[in-house]
A and B are shown apart, each in its own frame.
Chain A
Amino acid sequence: MSATFRYIRERYKSFLKVLFATACTLLLGSCVSEEQFEDTPQGNFEALWKIIDEHYCFLTYKKDTLGLDWDEVHTRYSNRLSTDMNRSQLFEVLADMLSELRDGHVNLYAAHDLSRYWSWYEDYPSNFNQDLQDEYLGKSYLIASSLQYRILEDNIGYVVCQSFSSGLGDGNISEVLNYLRLCNGIIIDVRENGGGSLENAERLASHFTNESLLVGYLQHKTGIGHDDFSSMTAEYLEPSDGVRWQKNAIVLTNRHCYSATNAFVRDMKQCAKVTVLGDNTGGGSGMPFFSELPNGWSVRFSACPMFDADGNQIEFGIQPDINVQLDSADVASGHDTLIEAARRLLASHND
């Protein structure tokens, strides 16, 4: 054995001794664990409050805009706890505490109930009438995955998308746009669309641009502090390889456009020949995560905030380019004010 090899071997042994000593010290004193709460009213309350405190992404934003003080919320709601309260009473307290966040992406799931905050659309005019939409679609409309579509009498393509939850492929979208290719314009009606997959929303929007577009920014939390966020990372909408719409398009919105649909509207607003018409969207720009309580209840909450192309929050919705409200007189006469306004606008573009 060469002297060099022996030297290396001895050095290596010395190195290992140091590492072993370090490892033993660290292993004995560093058990990686997380604070566990008891399955009691107080324990479940503290667990839920902590989950929101450390993971929810809009605490600072809502403190600035709504005056939300999460520490004060703890004080106020902990006073409603008692050791002998039953499951339903505890659920009510926890649900009420979560409603302080005023966020449609926040829910508490128990076997007997689901807490929710739906004021983002319940407190506003719906600007939508299902019977009217059914009349515009008629009975012979086509269905491509989650898209229902037909050509209206004035040669305007009408596409309804009420959910981004089910699979929506480039093939589906290309088939729809190819079918409507001779139309003078297209209406994409996403009213009542409460969201779904961001990828589906982005995929549909990608058929309305010929170039890469900056559509917004995304952040995520990097720690438990209310202001521990990553830098804002730009999001780009890349043009689809399938059929791309080259004419004018109008997106119809109402307050029920939420979450992935909110992101879809954000993306479409950046497309050159797209106009957003209707009411504000409902918002919901925090990508939701899940967690759970010691008693087994699940909680959903906003974890990653999304922004528009100017870096503005869109948690409380996006304003349309043209605000149009559903008129009750139009409804009585069998007309959808928003659809008719969109048809007139597309007709004027072609004049």
Chain B
Amino acid sequence: MVSKFLLCVLAAASGLPQHEPETTESDTIVSGTPSELLTAPDDQNRISVHSTMFGLGSVRHLDTYLSPLNYKGEQLEFLHETLRPSRRSNLSIQTIWQANLSQASNEAGKRNLIGGGVTFDLGLHYNWHPQFLPGLRLMIGGLAGADVGFLYHTRNGNNPVQALASMRLSASIAATYDFHIGKRRFAARYQGDFPMIGLMFSPQYGQSYYEIFSLGHYDHNLVFTYPGNAPSMRHIVSLDIPIGHTTLRASYLCDMRQTNVNSLRHHSYTHAFMIGWVRRLARIRD
């Protein structure tokens, strides 16, 4: 039998379990918390969970190629995540797009540093449902990711910018817990990602971008990274809150990126509070 796929977008109208799902043949099985949806029976689990969040937070930059001083400032964050279960196993596939823009000042109050970047991660997690605590789902897996970005120092001459580019494989753990408050069902979630191995671009200690890009002189500009020279991590804690027919997601993002390569030290510490919404897309076979 030829299958036909319907794509049901159930964002605001999807509802969470405070409303009993009014199911029909065409728009069934699309309510519930992300954890429930991802663990629904096999013939029902073709649902992917999409969240989009915007946030504002604090950032601390250090990049000794540009300046030996610490910089503090504000950072705008955008994060879009898709979580999609595998059809016939306990695996789930995750994609994360993260973008940020920041401006920072040094201790002297000079607002000299502007930063920005985009990060993409593609993850695969094994899902485990412990019997001792219904509603809890534990995930363990890995992410393959890449990011590009920049730090621009407005007062520097031949070293005005640091280009940030890297690829990495990260270990990842996550836990989701569904719980009730009254008749409303909430979902709390934590995810921690820990880069393990990767490659990154870096100028050599005193090398100018003129030498790299105009003259084509390369000197250890592609560096192997591991926790010893790039001890980084990202933590996301979120709470899904049912409000009317909408699911809001409130998150705290802790993004700690550090590198110490070519005798150049870099860190960007971000703490951001984010808010957004969750949508569920269902593909239903007739």
A290 and B156 within 8 A (CB): yes
Alpha-carbon separation in the docked complex, A57 to B142 (Å): 43
Residues of B close to A289: CB separation below 8 A: 156-159, 206, 208
Contact flag A287-B158 (CB < 8 Å), given A23-B227, A292-B106: yes
Is there a chain A Cβ closer than 8 Å to B68's Cβ?
Answer: yes
Residues of A close to B26: CB separation below 8 A: none
B69 and A304 within 8 A (CB): no
Contact flag A34-B62 (CB < 8 Å), given A288-B157, A290-B157: yes
Interface residues of A in 2-57 (CB under 8 A from B): 9, 13, 16, 19-20, 22-23, 26-27, 30-36, 39, 47, 50-51, 55, 57
Alpha-carbon separation in the docked complex, A30 to B260 (Å): 10
Is there a chain B Cβ closer than 8 Å to A242's Cβ?
Answer: no
Shortest Cβ distance from residue A59 to the other chain B in the assembled complex, whole angstroms: 12
Shortest Cβ distance from residue B198 to the other chain A in the assembled complex, whole angstroms: 13
Is there a chain A Cβ closer than 8 Å to B184's Cβ?
Answer: no
User: Which DSSP category, helix, strand, loop or mixed, fits chain A's interface?
Assistant: mixed
Alpha-carbon separation in the docked complex, A50 to B256 (Å): 27
A224 and B263 within 8 A (CB): yes
Is there a chain B Cβ closer than 8 Å to A1's Cβ?
Answer: yes
Residues of A close to B108: CB separation below 8 A: 39, 294-296
Is there a chain B Cβ closer than 8 Å to A321's Cβ?
Answer: no
Is there a chain A Cβ closer than 8 Å to B190's Cβ?
Answer: no
Shortest Cβ distance from residue A335 to the other chain B in the assembled complex, whole angstroms: 39
Is there a chain A Cβ closer than 8 Å to B67's Cβ?
Answer: yes
Alpha-carbon separation in the docked complex, A9 to B158 (Å): 50
Is there a chain B Cβ closer than 8 Å to A303's Cβ?
Answer: yes
B194 and A23 within 8 A (CB): yes
Is there a chain A Cβ closer than 8 Å to B47's Cβ?
Answer: no
Contact flag A32-B206 (CB < 8 Å), given A222-B219, A291-B67, A294-B69: no
- B27-43 near A? 1/0 per residue, CB < 8 Å: 00000000000000000
Alpha-carbon separation in the docked complex, A290 to B65 (Å): 9
Contact flag A36-B69 (CB < 8 Å), given A289-B208, A290-B157: yes
A292 and B157 within 8 A (CB): no
Alpha-carbon separation in the docked complex, A26 to B229 (Å): 9
**Which residue of B has the minimal Cβ distance to A218?**
B211
Shortest Cβ distance from residue B268 to the other chain A in the assembled complex, whole angstroms: 10
- B194-235 near A? 1/0 per residue, CB < 8 Å: 101000000011111011001101010000000110010100
Residues of A close to B159: CB separation below 8 A: 289-290, 303
A220 and B219 within 8 A (CB): yes
- A205-224 near B? 1/0 per residue, CB < 8 Å: 00000000000001011111
Residues of A close to B163: CB separation below 8 A: none
Interface residues of B in 132-157 (CB under 8 A from A): 140, 142, 153, 155-157
A51 and B68 within 8 A (CB): yes
Is there a chain B Cβ closer than 8 Å to A230's Cβ?
Answer: yes
Contact flag A220-B205 (CB < 8 Å), given A27-B231, A34-B68: yes
B110 and A296 within 8 A (CB): yes
Interface residues of B in 60-74 (CB under 8 A from A): 62, 64, 67-70
Choice from B110, B204, B256 contacting A230 with Cβ under 8 Å: B204
**Which residue of A has the minimal Cβ distance to B88?**
A1
Residues of A close to B142: CB separation below 8 A: 16
Residues of A close to B130: CB separation below 8 A: none
**Which residue of A has the minimal Cβ distance to B207?**
A220
B204 and A220 within 8 A (CB): yes
Contact flag A304-B206 (CB < 8 Å), given A26-B228, A218-B211: yes
Is there a chain B Cβ closer than 8 Å to A170's Cβ?
Answer: no
Residues of A close to B231: CB separation below 8 A: 23, 26-27, 30, 32
Is there a chain B Cβ closer than 8 Å to A228's Cβ?
Answer: yes
User: Contacts A31-B267, A34-B265, A300-B157 given; 10 further ones with Cβ under 8 A?
Assistant: A19-B171, A20-B171, A27-B231, A220-B206, A289-B156, A290-B153, A290-B156, A291-B68, A294-B69, A294-B106
Residues of B within 8 A of A (CB): 62, 64, 67-70, 89, 106-110, 112, 126, 140, 142, 153, 155-160, 171, 173, 194, 196, 204-208, 210-211, 214-215, 217, 219, 227-228, 231, 233, 256, 258-260, 262-263, 265-267
4 closest residue pairs by CB, A with B: A221-B206, A296-B108, A32-B258, A290-B156
User: What are 30 inter-chain pairs, A to B, with CB distance below 8 A?
Assistant: A1-B89, A16-B140, A19-B196, A26-B228, A27-B194, A27-B233, A31-B258, A33-B267, A39-B108, A198-B210, A199-B210, A199-B214, A218-B217, A220-B204, A220-B207, A221-B204, A222-B262, A223-B205, A230-B204, A230-B219, A233-B217, A287-B210, A290-B158, A292-B106, A292-B110, A294-B106, A294-B108, A296-B106, A298-B155, A304-B211
